[in-house]
Structures are given as structure tokens and as C-alpha cells.
Amino acid sequence: MTVRTRFAPSPTGFMHIGNLRTGLYTYLYARKHNGTFILRIEDTDQERKVEGAVEAIYRTLKIAGMSYDEGPDKDGGYGPYVQTERMGLYKEYAEKLVELGGAYYCFCDKERLQSIVDDNGLHTYDKHCRNIPLEEAKARVAAGEPYVIRQKVPEGVVSSYTDLVFGEISVASEDIEDGVLLKSDGLPTYNFANVVDDHLMGITHVMRGIEYLSSTPKYNLIYDAFGWERPTYIHLTTIMKDAQRKLSKRYGDANFEDFVAKGYLPEAIVNYIALLGWCPKSNQEKMTIDEMVEQFDVDGLSKSPAIFDEAKMRWLNGEYLKAMTPEEFYTVSLPYIMKSKAGGKFNDYEISRLMQTRVDVLSDIPDKIDFLVDFDEYDINMYVHQKMKVDFNVAKQALKVAFDAMSNLDDWTEDALKECMKSSAEAGGMKGGQVMFSVRVALTGQPSTPGGAVEMAVVLGKEESMRRLAFSIDYLNREAQ
């Protein structure tokens, strides 16, 4: 059997982390089994449709590296892949189901439906139209009477199936409503469309959120009534924001593109969400999407809810950043360096090198480097450091020897600068640390900085470093008599 899976997002908002995880697992399952991964857009709920959401689905799958084999723009012979383009089909199949005895026409109006209240206070349909003879119902339809088509749930049966994660799920037919399959406007409900589409698209494995776990027996009864083979089901555990609350679209940050905009790498997000409810046998945490394909296994899918932990995603993102080559990191970090006041003023490449091991998320960069331009407002007492044995006099002397040596240095590299500061310290009868400390304060005006004197000098470049050293020497001479 060739595995065919589908990801069926609804364009009702931007790509939520939970949805993307469903898509990812579906993709991994298909790839793992050399199957086909299909994208289907479930847009029958036009009221909930959000402008731009379809485009966000395409964009997200592309950035996330989840390429589909069939979809709206990739015909594989099972299209159309957008539900609103399949409208005729649903009506045709709903009518077929009526003929097969699995559904019936219902003419109850809104008022009547509102007036029905079951023992639980719900408006559960009371099967009022279930026994209208088919010929009579057809005549009423032909006469133009408004109608819906409802599922004729067999009575007195228990509908069961085995979910590959949650095991056996059974629902008694008395607990299943004769729900609407085709609405009065001729549009299908999700309950009907998902069955028709999955069957016609030859879907063998349905992976979706746990919220569908207990509705699936109802869908299976539709498969059975048509005489269609049921697919295999794999329901996925909930993602929680914390112990009590579900991660929801309303939790503003839970969408993929927002995380990308916040400076997370798409591959790190994908990696992190893969682990939300799936544990590879190897327990490996950082892995490429190809490694995930290799290791993906339904046995590793969890039944218990997964907690979305942004701190952990930050950590993982940091691991991805550190693993990049300096050139790759420069490319991804430059837009964030340019967001800082310091961007474009000094050596951006050296700034990126400095940041590579110091941030977990790219959007942390601007705040971390703004200090490079806030140089001249500083507190002279910063030069006093007991442990380093630096006071004003030592600092003055240190800056003087460093200034002389550095102004003669042409090779403005880390190694050469280190050597230069060390030897100038020796020549002046001081410790290397005393010179480096004084130079770092003089170059930055900060009590602490990411990187020491050498890194700061490289970032600032020779001209700006010498200007700051001269300024600081002057300042110290003036202020610390």
C-alpha cells in the first residue's frame, strides 16, 4: 500500500504552532514511508476565513521546508485541492448517501430546531424528518422547499476504531446526533467534507488534532454507509501553554511567522515543535528535518499533553545559531544589527562574530550592541577595580602605553591586538589584565561588555578605537587629578 497523508489546514488565521506540528508529523509520516504528502485547503467555512491566511499557509510550508507532492498548485490527479472548488462533489455525494440509506433530507426550520431541547439542555436534533419516505422528501425538494441533508446514524450500534496513538475509541450511536452533512446553502459541513475528500483523495492515514478523536466514530459511520474503506487514524496530543491552558491562536505569539519575525530560525522552530508530543527513540534533540524523517515513529507519539516552553525553544535556537559558520550567522544577523543604533557604524561582521555565541534569538541583538554608540556618558569610577588592582593612576598609565603601542599597530586583528596590549603592559611594568581592563572601559564606557578589550577594538576599528582612547585619556587627566 502506498501511504497517502494530507495536511488540511483551514485559512482561519495565521499558521498556529499546533497546526504546523500536525502538518509536520503528517509530512514526516509520508516521507518515512515513501508516501505522498498532500496539502488540502479546507475553506468551506467562509465566515471564519481570514484575508491572507491561504498565502500564509503556502509561505509557512515553504519556509519550514515541508514540500508537498500534491496540492492546489501541484496537481496529482486527485484535485481540486481547495474545498470551495469541490462544491459540486459534496452535493452529489450527499445525495448518493441518501440513496444508500446513510442520510436523509430534513426540512425543519430554525425556529423548530431552536425549540428542541434534550435532557442536557442542548439543541440535539430529534430525528423529526428521519422517517419521511424518500419519494415524498424528493418531491418537497423538487418543489423548492429549503432543506439540509443529515446523517442517518444507525441505531443501537457502537462505532469503534483503533487510533494508533490513543488505542480503541468507541462511541455508542445513541450519543451521536443525526448531524447536518450538507447545509441549506448547498455547502458541506466539515463532518461531511473531510470524509468525502479523504476518500476521493485516497488518503490512507489521517493525522490530526485530538479534538477530532471522539468525532471520528461518526465519520466512520459515513465511510461504512458508503461502503468505503476507512483510513487509519493517528490523533495528536494537545499543546498546552502551561499546566492549565491550551496553546491557542489567541495567545498572540503562538504563530510560526511571528516567531520567525522575532528572530527564531525556521529550522529551529520546526525542530522544537517536532519534539512537542514526539520523542525519538534516540532521544536526540537537535535534528534536521531529514533526520526527523529517518527517526519518525508513531510509537514515539505521546498521549499526554505537551507543554510549549519558549525558554527551551530559545535554547535550541541558540544551538542552531552557534552551529552556523560565521558567514551564515553574519547573513542572518545583519538585519538585526542594522536595527541597532550601532548598525552600519562599525565593523558589522565583527559585531556578528561577537554576537554569535551570545544570543539565543536574533532579536536580542540590537539591545546587546546599542552600547557601542553610547560611549561618552560614563562614570569615571569604572576605572577603579580592586581585584584587578586598577586605580586612576594605573588606568592613566595603562591607557598611555596602550595608546602608543596601538597607534603603531597596522595589523588590527585579535591576535595582533592581544600581543600588542600584552607587550605594552610588560614594557610599562604592568599586568596584561590591567591594560586590557583599562582599555575596555576606555573604548566602551561600560561596566561590562560582551567581549573584552581586544574584541571591542576589532569591532570599533582602529580609527574609532584611537579616537576613544584619546578621549578617555583626556577625560581621565581632567577628572582624576
| Rounded Cα gap, residues 480 and 262, in angstroms | 44
Reduced to 3 states, what is the DSSP secondary structure of residue 168?
A: strand
Give 81-86's long-range contacts (Cβ < 8 A, gap of 24+): 81/38, 81/39, 81/40, 81/41, 82/40, 82/41, 82/43, 83/40, 83/41, 83/42, 83/43, 83/44, 83/188, 83/193, 83/197, 84/43, 84/44, 84/46, 86/193, 86/197
Q: What is the nearest approach in angstroms of ligand GLU to the Cβ of residue 144?
A: 32
Helix (H) or strand (E) holding 38, with range, is strand 36-39
Helix (H) or strand (E) holding 291, with range, is helix 289-295
397 DSSP assignment: H
Q: Does 353 bind ligand GLU (CB under 6 A)?
A: no
Window contacting ligand GLU (CB under 6 A); options: 2-10, 84-92, 170-178, 181-189: 2-10
Catalytic residue among 49, 138, 249, 262: 249
Are 225 and 103 in contact by the 8 Å Cβ rule? The answer is yes
Nearer to ligand GLU, 153 or 236 (CB): 236
Q: Does 397 bind ligand GLU (CB under 6 A)?
A: no
Nearer to ligand GLU, 11 or 343 (CB): 11
Nearer to ligand GLU, 10 or 449 (CB): 10
Nearer to ligand GLU, 211 or 379 (CB): 211
Q: Does 10 bind ligand GLU (CB under 6 A)?
A: yes
Reduced to 3 states, what is the DSSP secondary structure of residue 323?
A: coil
Q: What is the nearest approach in angstroms of ligand GLU to the Cβ of residue 387?
A: 60
Is 249 an annotated catalytic residue? yes
Nearer to ligand GLU, 208 or 353 (CB): 208
Cell of 40: 488540502
Could you say which of 14, 36, 42, 308 contacts ligand GLU (CB under 6 A)?
Answer: 42
Contacts with ligand GLU by CB under 6 A: the residue count is 6
Could you say which of 5, 8, 86, 192 contacts ligand GLU (CB under 6 A)?
Answer: 8
Q: What is the nearest approach in angstroms of ligand GLU to the Cβ of residue 22?
A: 7
Q: What is the nearest approach in angstroms of ligand GLU to the Cβ of residue 208?
A: 3
Reduced to 3 states, what is the DSSP secondary structure of residue 174?
A: helix
Amino acid at 450: P
Binding-site string for ligand GLU from residue 245 to residue 274, where x marks contact by CB under 6 A and - marks none: ------------------------------
Q: Which of residues 204-233 bind ligand GLU (CB under 6 A)?
A: 208
| Rounded Cα gap, residues 466 and 335, in angstroms | 28
Could you say which of 60, 194, 356, 438 contacts ligand GLU (CB under 6 A)?
Answer: 194
| Rounded Cα gap, residues 158 and 172, in angstroms | 4
Q: In residues, how long is the chain?
A: 481
Q: Does 188 bind ligand GLU (CB under 6 A)?
A: no
Alpha helices in 15-109 (DSSP H): 17-32, 53-64, 87-100
Are 114 and 123 in contact by the 8 Å Cβ rule? The answer is yes
Cell of 361: 534569538
Window contacting ligand GLU (CB under 6 A); options: 6-14, 63-71, 312-320, 358-366: 6-14
Residue nearest to ligand GLU (CB): 208
Could you say which of 9, 71, 231, 263 contacts ligand GLU (CB under 6 A)?
Answer: 9
Nearer to ligand GLU, 9 or 217 (CB): 9
Q: Does 16 bind ligand GLU (CB under 6 A)?
A: no
Nearer to ligand GLU, 53 or 399 (CB): 53
Window contacting ligand GLU (CB under 6 A); options: 8-16, 335-343, 378-386, 430-438: 8-16
Helix (H) or strand (E) holding 36, with range, is strand 36-39
Q: Catalytic amino acids?
A: 249
Which positions touch ligand GLU (CB under 6 A)?
A: 8-10, 42, 194, 208
